[in-house]
Amino acid sequence: MGARSLRFRKLRWKGIPMTQASAFTHAPEPEKYVAFEPAVNDFSTGFGPDENAKPSYAAIREHPDFVRVRRRLTRFIFPVSVLFFVWYMTYVLLAAYAHDFMARRALGSVTVGLLLGLSQFVTTVVIMLWYARFTRTKVDPEIDRLRRFAGED
């Protein structure tokens, strides 16, 4: 590979000059982007001065109700994910280092390892149902209220 193959090639897409990297995504050169002036926002509501204006998502993201919903989701998702990961890694470590325990027969020809492995699927379904119930009862009503507040139905 010589220096010639590493040079920047100028490409064009619909008449707009592009780099080799941006040609892959069809993104124009950065100097061709147009910067817009930010709209005047009333950050207490998230709307501009015109009632037909689109909601300001930055203002909604900073709204205390939205922050509370995000925090509620995080307080559910993070501990459940950590607990499931610990449970999964316990199963993997038992399978790797506790051969005698995992080979112990529990019911007829069914071993402890098989029961623990199948319980991984059961745990996944239980967590999925728990999350669906949690979002349906705790998160979705708050999101619906925020959508009404933002004027999106």
For 26-59, what is each residue's pLDDT tens digit? Answer: 555 555 445 544 444 444 555 444 555 666 777 7
- In b/e form, how buried is each residue of 1-15, taking b as 16+ CB within 10 angstroms? eeeeeeeeeeeeeee
* Domain extent at residue 53: 16-62
CA distance linking residue 117 with residue 111, whole number of Å: 10
Domain count, the chain: 2
SS3 56: coil
Q: Would you say the pTM of this structure is higher than 0.85? A: no
Please count the other Cβ atoms lying within 10 Å of the Cβ belonging to residue 130. 12
* Token duo for residue 82: 């950590």
What is the reported pLDDT for 51?
55
Does the structure show a pLDDT above 70 at 119?
yes
Asked if 83 and 57 sit in the same domain, the reply is no
Name the pLDDT band for 153 (thresholds 50, 70, 90): low
Name the pLDDT band for 72 (thresholds 50, 70, 90): very high
What is the reported pLDDT for 145?
84
Beta bridge partners of 13: 16
The answer to whether residue 6 sits within a structural domain is: no
